[in-house]
Amino acid sequence: MKESKRAFPLADVLPGLPDQHWASFVLPLAVVLGLALFPFITGKDVHRETMFTVLRAIVMAVSLNIILGYTGYVSFGHVVFYGLGGYVGFYLVSEKGMSLWVALLAGGLAAGLLAWVIGAGILRLRGAYFALVTIGVNEAVRALIQNLDIFGGPLGLEMNFSVYKAYGGPQAMLQMTYNILVGLAVIAVLLSYAVRTSKFGLGLLAIREDEDAAEVMGIIAPKAKTWAYVLSAILPGMVGALFFFRNGSIEPHEAFPLHISIEAIVMVMLGGYGTVLGPILGAAGYQVMRAFLITNRYLKNIQLTVSGVLLLLIVLFIPAGLIGWLRRRIPASRRILL
């Protein structure tokens, strides 16, 4: 048997978990693609804009799930990766005249790099300490950017609309960025599936369940956790770059709002942490609820209160979330619902 010292998954990705049904792979992809195709079918711009927020939520939740759901570390300030990616990408396009593609890569890279640099330090903290420190990191990065002149300080940066000409004008740009987001969502799902079914992922689950026992069994927890954190940061960074490019402006309070983190946690918990399908359904379900709330005259101001209460109810009554609950109740479903 060949020896392998790698903690990184790719070598073991293809075989997948033994006796996992192919549907466990197809189902999450089908849900994402089904949602993504909806605006193409109706052909309505308003549906495309709605689905943009749904897919963005899916990427955030699916990514967060890698560190929160698989590894058991509650990254409360996960929006920092979105904001940082947003700023780095925006800066490169609007101030340096680089292309959106470079911005996307740089946004993902910056987010991954930040996770890698801080991960080694803060992933030593467990439980609430880790959660609190991630909030601190978000605030620190926000404060730093607010004080950086190249990023426009507290006012942020504005895009010169002529930039969009290179992408066929604002209308075409809106469609193109939507298409890119669909691609990112698909990548998020593939990544999540690859991690979940790999040996690396089994190591993460073991860390989540009992980190000390995992180390005794040979899992190099510090390394595995750092990789998990990096993997969970990259796509939010890219989506940040994409969103703010599309948005045409970026400001500190828009880039690092803590409520995006909290909502992503609710989505993961709602659908089922530690599963591939759960965060996707959780994100979609949450966005539907949110859309209902903010369009309702009486409820729109209590939208965040509702997510807080929702989180409380989930944690109290169905801590495993929808998919986790199904997997527990119906063991036969485990081969299909991953």
Partner 1 sequence: MTALLRVENVTKRFGGLVAVDHVSFELHEGEILGLIGPNGAGKTTLFNCINGIYRPEEGRIYFRGQDITGWKPYYVARLGMARTHQIVRPLAELTVRENVMVGAAFGSKQYDLRTAAHIADEVMEFLGLAERAEMLAGSLNVAQKKRLELARALAAEPKLLLLDEVLAGLNPAEIAQMVEIVKAIREERGITILMIEHVMHAIMNVSDRIIVLDFGKLIAEGTPEEVSNNPKVIEAYLGDPELALKLTRKSNA
Which one of residues 92, 194, 206, 242 is an interface residue with partner 1 (CB under 8 A)? Answer: 206
* Site for partner 1, residues 49 to 88, rule: CB under 8 A: none
Between 156 and 203, CB nearer to partner 1: 203
Q: Output Rg (C-alpha) for the chain, integer angstroms.
A: 20
* Site for partner 1, residues 125 to 154, rule: CB under 8 A: none
Which one of residues 218, 297, 298, 317 is an interface residue with partner 1 (CB under 8 A)? Answer: 218
**Binding footprint of partner 1, residue count (CB under 8 A):** 35
Distances (CA, A) of 149 to 106, 125, 167: 20, 33, 28
249 near 45, Cβ under 8 Å?
no
CA angle 159, 260, 60 (to 5 degrees): 85
Please name the residue that has the structure tokens 């954190």.
229
Between 206 and 266, CB nearer to partner 1: 206
218: DSSP letter: T
Helix axes 277-294, 258-271, angle to 10 degrees: 120
Which one of residues 109, 220, 304, 311 is an interface residue with partner 1 (CB under 8 A)? Answer: 220
Q: Which helix (H) or strand (E) holds 138?
A: helix 128-146
First vs last Cα of the chain: how many Å apart?
Answer: 29
Alpha carbon 196 to chain centroid, angstroms: 15
Spatial separation of the C-alpha atoms in residues 217 and 206, rounded to whole Å: 9
280 near 271, Cβ under 8 Å?
yes
Between 12 and 263, CB nearer to partner 1: 12
* Biggest distance spanned by C-alpha atoms of the chain: 64
* Site for partner 1, residues 312 to 331, rule: CB under 8 A: 328, 331
Spatial separation of the C-alpha atoms in residues 43 and 106, rounded to whole Å: 32
201 near 9, Cβ under 8 Å?
yes
Write the binding mask 288 to 307 for partner 1: x where contact by CB under 8 A, - elsewhere.
Answer: --------------------
State yes or no: residue 3 binds partner 1 (CB under 8 A): yes
Which one of residues 219, 241, 276, 280 is an interface residue with partner 1 (CB under 8 A)? Answer: 219
State yes or no: residue 246 binds partner 1 (CB under 8 A): no
State yes or no: residue 274 binds partner 1 (CB under 8 A): yes
- Which window, 34-42, 158-166, 196-204, 281-289, contacts partner 1 (CB under 8 A)? 196-204
Between 44 and 328, CB nearer to partner 1: 328
* Nearest-approach distance from CB 199 to partner 1, in angstroms: 5
Spatial separation of the C-alpha atoms in residues 228 and 137, rounded to whole Å: 18
89 near 106, Cβ under 8 Å?
yes
* Nearest-approach distance from CB 21 to partner 1, in angstroms: 14
Residue among 269, 278, 260 at smallest CA distance from 309: 269
Which one of residues 163, 205, 304, 318 is an interface residue with partner 1 (CB under 8 A)? Answer: 205
State yes or no: residue 15 binds partner 1 (CB under 8 A): yes
Between 70 and 164, CB nearer to partner 1: 70
State yes or no: residue 124 binds partner 1 (CB under 8 A): no
State yes or no: residue 23 binds partner 1 (CB under 8 A): no
State yes or no: residue 202 binds partner 1 (CB under 8 A): yes
Site of interaction with partner 1 (CB under 8 A): 1, 3-5, 11-12, 15-19, 197-199, 202-203, 205-206, 208-210, 212-221, 274, 328, 331, 334
